[in-house]
A and B are shown apart, each in its own frame.
Chain A
Amino acid sequence: MKASRNELNALFKQAFEGVGFDFGGYENAADMIIWTQMHGMNSFDSIRQRMSFFAQRKRLLAEQLAPDTLVLDAKDNSVIDAKGNSSIVAAGMAFDIAYVKALESGVAQTTVLNCHDRKLAIKKLVDCANRGFVCLAYWRDGETLHVITSNTGVCCPEYFQYKLEDLDDSDCLNEKHQQTLFVVCASHALGLQEYISNNLPELKGNQSFIMSPTMMKSSYMAALTNGIEIDNSFWKELAILGKEVLVESTEQSRMGAGA
């Protein structure tokens, strides 16, 4: 079925509120998921796989990160432990920390450990770039390196995939970091280029997939014009989760109704 952005936003917000996300948290979640889907990066499939996980933990605040989340807080390098949670919870914090450090040092990195749904970090990267910084996010998935970059003033970022070869144990992309998300903020493009030269030699290799800003913009415009495709049964799953926020109707409650 086709749905509009507005009604999907309401649907996701209510579903995430239903599973215990806070005010602010469920808005972020809906925003990140829908932005990514509209820009052609298919967030619905990955988040759908995670919905059963969210649903089982409803009202346990499992997705709320505890104060010990920030495990390292150095001058231009921080580490957050997402504790197996989704990037819809951790990515905003990661970019915010990288941003405030980059304001001081020019370039800063946040490493998010044990993080899922890393692709969804793209929306937070775009938000951070709107503050006038150049941003980067990357992660490893099997033998593939995923990279998203955004320049200031560009409506959409660029998304690349690279085939990883010959990694050694000292590399930040080694097996230990299979669930790690790296985010980087820089006050200037040169700073980011220098970071890439020092930390990501893989980016000189062959790209196996590219999604350009133009492709993303075009995908967004098509979704806006024609509606956003969503599987009917996924819609129903979300609606069921959202029912948790609804209050049973009674004679008394009808007296508090509008008309």
Chain B
Amino acid sequence: MNSAKNIIENILPMRPSEQVMDLKRLGSMHQSRLSFMRALMRKIMREKWSIKPTVFKLDEHGYGTVVYSVQAKHNTYSFVLFSNYLSDDERNDRVIAEKWDVTMTLCIGETNDEQIADMKKNVPKQEAGRVNSNMIVLARGNKSSRNFDYVVNMLADGHQPLMSQLADVGYLYRTTAAYGSGKFGMADWAKVKSQCPDFSRPFSAEMFTCYMLRQFSIDQAESLASIKSPNTAVPMDDYVKRYIGIGNSTGLGMAPYLIRHPQLVGQWMFARETAVSRVVYQGEVNNETLGKLTNIITKVLRHISETKVPDAIQTKRNEDLYNELSQVQEWLNEHGLTCADWQVLVRYVETNFSMETQEMLNSLLMELYPELVDELEEELCVDERYEIQPEMSLSELKQLIENKYKWALKIDFSQQGANYFFWYRSEEKMEPRLGQRSIEPGEEKEMPLTIARLVRQCYDRLCADIAKYSANDLVAYFLIRESDMNGIVKRIQTMSKDYYGEIQGNLADENMLPLDLLRCKLSFFGASKFDPKSKLWVRNTMFQGAPTLSDIGKPFADDWYFPIAMEK
């Protein structure tokens, strides 16, 4: 248990896990100061990283090789990108795609021509290639053709792109995958964490790679405009550059990760909930903080009004959020100065408004008190360790399940719809998929992601074992008799020590929305403008509003979240 946990446990009340880890609530979360992109940008700006293109060999179509040298605080890295021709009908954001507009890698140290030539053979192949342990991230992206061509043409003609156009689609490229953690021969997370301290926080290298693709998209657009019309082309204005983010498509692949890493998820949630608890109970309410919150809400309202997505359900959620946040602002104007602390506001919002608004408010309150929140970004890592406690008695294990997994035991798996889905890996690139149990083959190959059902099975077997042997018998003996329970017993015993971590929902239920899982992880990443394309995948925008390379070294207010379209 880390120090933050000890401090908070003794002082501040935390929201209970049944509230925080409810799947629907997780699917209502928004980016915050602790999101990985936010923390990464603070680090880059604070440490004044020096990032410069050292190779920029693009032809008149924008195809070629680009290398940016990255001098961070501790090490030098290279961001190497290959841009290739891709026909419109080959452009596919799905994981099963085999060609992309750009492919890229982030590697340790400077690169030479020989290394770049070797990368060129493998990086464009992505999953089908092999890379080496000097590389940290392997990623790819596709052009948002309409937007990209529009921006290039505008710049070539001597104009800035219209912000209203960029408000609809706020990026020139979308990433479709960013692999790290040792995939395809890359450096293991343990190596990155111990040997690359600049990227020793979860997913910071992956986030940085997306940030660099955003930078490339701007540089490439300017370069092409200049080639197209050297006499009239203008560079992109800084305010436009900042408003260009990087698109992202996220599918089911992200969902199993959250289930398989409950300790890590628990750590992230604990840091976030600690921040919420600190600001709600310790943040002072005064004219200054009230004014700041009102201003932030005004900005967020405009951001929401500028967010246009085709999905009817998401549009309704955005409208509700807008209306409810407007009411929060009215309430603040009326009652704000009478609040002794933020608990009053939080209670009002919890009683009257949707989870979406409740979680938005939590994120916004964090913005008022960087001094209470930002240090928690150091608490986002955990060395995951799942261990059997063989000395535990069976009665103790039973009690532990009854206390900590009450939510799982409440689910009646005999009910129609409770076993509707099953998760499996497809032979197509081992892509995780969700099957309908009654009609699709492969149920016998189900992935063990329905934790609630596994807990129920374990509990039933445990009760039967106790009846046959003794409640005083030990787990060590139970696992000899019921060796197939090893995995779930290990998980139950380990996770019983964590406040958060287990996502409290039935992942096989007919009404389960995988999007909620994706949204949870994306909010930790720091993504915004969620644009669901089905129940199974979502487009979103990353780094929109963030400083660009030319901003590094200048004053930084860390207020780039929920950006709004500002005309010059």
Contact = CB atoms under 8 A, between A and B. Distances in A.
Interface in B354-401: 387-388, 390-391
Given A99-B391, A247-B442, A247-B445, A258 B427 contact: no
Interface in B237-259: 249-253
Contact of B188 (A5, A96, A243): A5
A27 interface: yes
Contact of B486 (A7, A25, A253, A259): A25
Contact of A4 (B94, B183, B480): B183
Contacts, number: 168
Contact of B533 (A3, A247, A259): A259
A246 B425 contact: yes
Contact of B251 (A23, A28, A259): A259
A24 interface: yes
Contacts of A4: 133, 181-183, 185-188
A22 B190 CA distance: 27
Given A67-B481, A252-B439, A2 B432 contact: no
B133 A2 contact: yes
B426 A247 contact: yes
Interface string B437-459: 00111100100100000100000
Contacts of A22: 483-484, 486-487
A48 to B, nearest CB: 20
B536 A259 contact: yes
A258 B537 contact: yes
A74 to B, nearest CB: 14
A23 B94 contact: no
B479 A247 contact: no
B292 interface: no
Contacts of B426: 246-249, 253, 257
Contacts of B345: none
Contact of A245 (B93, B440, B445): B445
A258 B431 contact: yes
Nearest to B92: A259
B445 A246 contact: yes
Nearest to B186: A4
A225 interface: yes
A127 B387 contact: yes
A1 B130 CA distance: 9
A103 interface: yes
A62 interface: no
A6 B179 CA distance: 12
Contacts of A250: 440-441
Nearest to A220: B190
Nearest to B385: A130
Interface string B269-293: 0000000000000000000000000
A5 B190 contact: yes
A100 B427 contact: no
Given A257-B252, A257-B433, A93 B487 contact: no
Contact of B480 (A93, A224, A259): A93
Interface in A1-47: 1-7, 22-25, 27-28
Interface residues of A, number: 47
A58 to B, nearest CB: 13
A25 B187 contact: no
A97 interface: yes
Given A4-B186, A258-B537, A70 B480 contact: yes
A97 B488 contact: no
Contacts of B181: 4, 6
A24 B487 contact: yes
B454 A258 contact: no
A227 B487 contact: no
Nearest to B484: A22
Given A27-B487, A256-B440, A257-B252, A247 B182 contact: no
Contacts of B536: 256-259
B428 interface: yes
Contact of B488 (A7, A23, A64, A254): A23
Interface string A218-259: 000000111100000000000000011111111011101111
A27 B250 CA distance: 27
Contacts of A99: 390-391, 476
Given A245-B425, A247-B424, A248-B441, A96 B249 contact: no
Contact of A224 (B188, B387, B391): B188
A4 B191 CA distance: 10
A69 interface: yes
A70 B477 contact: yes
B132 interface: yes
B252 A258 contact: yes
B183 A23 contact: no
B459 to A, nearest CB: 16
16 contacts: A2-B185, A7-B182, A24-B486, A24-B488, A27-B487, A93-B476, A97-B476, A97-B477, A103-B391, A246-B425, A246-B426, A248-B426, A249-B428, A258-B251, A259-B176, A259-B249
Interface of A: 1-7, 22-25, 27-28, 64-65, 67, 69-70, 80, 89, 92-93, 96-97, 99-100, 103, 127, 224-227, 243-250, 252-254, 256-259
Interface of B: 93-96, 130, 132-133, 176, 181-191, 194-195, 249-253, 387-388, 390-391, 424-428, 430-436, 439-442, 445, 448, 454, 474, 476-477, 479-481, 483-490, 514, 533, 536-537
Given A224-B190, A247-B441, 5 more contacts: A225-B133, A247-B425, A256-B435, A257-B96, A259-B94
